[in-house]
């Protein structure tokens, strides 16, 4: 997809000065305004129901997964096929709805300056979702494309290519959900002609291609990233960055540096994570805890926010930042098991020309 070079305006004013983190800073909690119709949100939940078939029988497995997550033993929590299906059916649906709202909230910024009339295969909007195996991003992106239909004359998003990259073996979850969003639902043989006519896929298969790669993103070298991020428009790190920081601060910084080197000007990096996530950094033998968003700003922008500020121009500009928001589930949504509201922090950056 062609990207424009126009400088988009920040959507939410936040102090952009880099300073020592204030750990006692109060975090505000704004609610995101819901703009996705209930029917589309229900359609997303139905996709999860159809593809992953959550139900009462999952209770025991769900308890085991919760136990591993509580102990922060992610290798165990994501180490078995039945755990993955149950995790994705329990935690990914509400996240998918939250991410859909996030994408809609930021799309004007993402598409600002885009000259594209994106209607051919090789001009698809290219997205790489790091830590994106659990299915929330698969469904959110599908619903995002679907939502553009309402605005088809002005939306540059006509087709999308997504690469889901994750260390755990999520391929079955990704392919089941991708199939569910790109194929019409199976109807009973008694379904009416009207129901058959209305029964269309959330997105046509040719508008949404998905690929899954089981990879440790912290182990990729520069040439791997060059290949993976060639012509990519958007990289996402949804509820994954803090996990990566916890695994290895140094490797995560290196990964972000590679992403910076390999993304073209105009590409975006979207980070969503739990609010108030901290990571411990050891500096000269002393351990200090820093907020995740501060570390991220420090790595991407350093001590400069503007290219005019100093000798070394910043490689990113921060367009959207909120340290705590709520995505609350609408009343009236139906799903086989309990779902939760999502509280999150969000940061969106745009790669600047070198």
**CA–CA separation, 328 and 340 (whole Å):** 8
**CA–CA separation, 268 and 12 (whole Å):** 16
Q: How far is the CB of 318 from ligand SAM (least distance, A)?
A: 21
The burial class, CB within 10 Å (0-12 / 13-18 / 19+), for 271 is buried
Q: Is 97 in the site for ligand SAM (CB under 6 A)?
A: no
Strands 160-166 and 125-130: parallel
Q: Is 21 in the site for ligand SAM (CB under 6 A)?
A: no
Q: Is 47 in the site for ligand SAM (CB under 6 A)?
A: no
Residue (10 or 218) nearer to ligand SAM, CB: 218
Among 105, 166, 233, 317, binds ligand SAM (CB under 6 A): 166
Q: How far is the CB of 163 from ligand SAM (least distance, A)?
A: 12
Among 40, 169, 218, 352, binds ligand SAM (CB under 6 A): 218
Paired with 269 in beta bridges are 235, 349
Q: Is 121 in the site for ligand SAM (CB under 6 A)?
A: no
Residue (260 or 305) nearer to ligand SAM, CB: 260
Residue (105 or 166) nearer to ligand SAM, CB: 166
CB nearest ligand SAM: which residue?
131
Count of residues that interact with ligand SAM, criterion CB under 6 A: 21
Q: Is 133 in the site for ligand SAM (CB under 6 A)?
A: yes
Asked if 92 and 134 touch (Cβ cutoff 8 Å), the reply is yes
Region from 129-137, 224-232, 281-289, 316-324 binding ligand SAM, contact rule CB under 6 A = 129-137
**CA–CA separation, 267 and 127 (whole Å):** 10
Q: Is 217 in the site for ligand SAM (CB under 6 A)?
A: yes
Q: What φ, ψ does residue 324 adopt, rounded to 5°?
A: -160, 120
Among 8, 21, 54, 132, binds ligand SAM (CB under 6 A): 132
Residue (163 or 317) nearer to ligand SAM, CB: 163
| Alpha carbon 329 to chain centroid, angstroms | 18
- Residue 133 CB neighbours (<10 A): 28
What number of residues does the chain have? 354
Region from 145-153, 186-194, 216-224, 339-347 binding ligand SAM, contact rule CB under 6 A = 216-224
Write out the two tokens for 224: 């791997």
Q: Is 238 in the site for ligand SAM (CB under 6 A)?
A: yes
Residues 57-96 binding ligand SAM (CB under 6 A) are: 78, 92, 95
Among 121, 216, 227, 309, binds ligand SAM (CB under 6 A): 216
Q: Is 245 in the site for ligand SAM (CB under 6 A)?
A: no
Q: How far is the CB of 161 from ligand SAM (least distance, A)?
A: 18
Asked if 177 and 45 touch (Cβ cutoff 8 Å), the reply is no
Q: Is 243 in the site for ligand SAM (CB under 6 A)?
A: yes
Instruction: Give Cα separations from 3 to 104, 123, 229, 283 (angstroms).
Output: 18, 10, 14, 39
Paired with 286 in beta bridges are 283
The H-assigned helical ranges of the chain are: 38-52, 59-70, 74-77, 81-111, 136-148, 171-182, 193-198, 222-228, 241-247, 249-262, 292-301
Q: Return residues touching ligand SAM (CB under 6 A).
A: 78, 92, 95, 131-134, 136-137, 166-168, 216-218, 238-240, 243-244, 247
């Amino acid at each position: 997809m062609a990207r424009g070079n126009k400088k988009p305006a920040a959507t939410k004013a936040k102090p952009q000065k880099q300073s020592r983190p204030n750990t006692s800073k109060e975090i505000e909690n704004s609610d995101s305004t819901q703009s996705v119709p209930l029917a589309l949100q229900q359609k997303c939940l139905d996709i999860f129901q159809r593809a992953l078939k959550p139900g009462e029988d999952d209770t025991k497995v769900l308890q085991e997964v919760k136990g591993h997550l509580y102990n922060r033993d992610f290798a165990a929590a994501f180490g078995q096929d039945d755990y993955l299906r149950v995790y994705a059916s329990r935690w990914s649906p509400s996240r998918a709805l939250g991410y859909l709202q996030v994408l809609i909230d930021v799309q004007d910024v993402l598409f600002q300056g885009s000259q594209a009339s994106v209607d051919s295969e090789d001009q698809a909007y290219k997205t790489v979702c790091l830590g994106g195996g659990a299915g929330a991003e698969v469904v959110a992106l599908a619903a995002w494309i679907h939502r553009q239909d309402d605005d088809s004359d002005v939306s540059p998003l006509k087709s999308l290519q997504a690469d889901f990259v994750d260390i755990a073996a999520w391929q079955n979850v990704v392919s089941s959900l991708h199939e569910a969003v790109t194929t019409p639902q199976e109807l009973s043989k008694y379904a009416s002609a009207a129901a058959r006519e209305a029964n269309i896929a959330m997105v046509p298969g040719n508008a949404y291609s998905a690929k899954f790669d089981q990879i440790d993103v912290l182990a990729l070298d520069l040439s791997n990233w060059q290949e993976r991020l060639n012509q990519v428009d958007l990289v996402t790190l949804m509820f994954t960055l803090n996990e990566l920081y916890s695994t290895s601060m140094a490797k995560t910084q290196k990964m972000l540096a590679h992403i910076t080197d390999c993304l073209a000007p105009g590409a975006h990096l979207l980070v969503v994570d739990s609010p108030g996530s901290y990571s411990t950094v050891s500096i000269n033998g002393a351990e200090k805890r820093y907020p995740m968003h501060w570390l991220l700003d420090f790595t991407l922008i350093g001590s400069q926010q503007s290219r005019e500020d100093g000798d070394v121009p910043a490689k990113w500009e921060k367009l959207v930042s909120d340290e705590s928001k709520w995505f609350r589930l609408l009343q009236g949504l139906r799903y086989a098991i309990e779902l939760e509201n999502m509280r999150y922090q969000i940061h969106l950056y745009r790669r600047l020309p070198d």
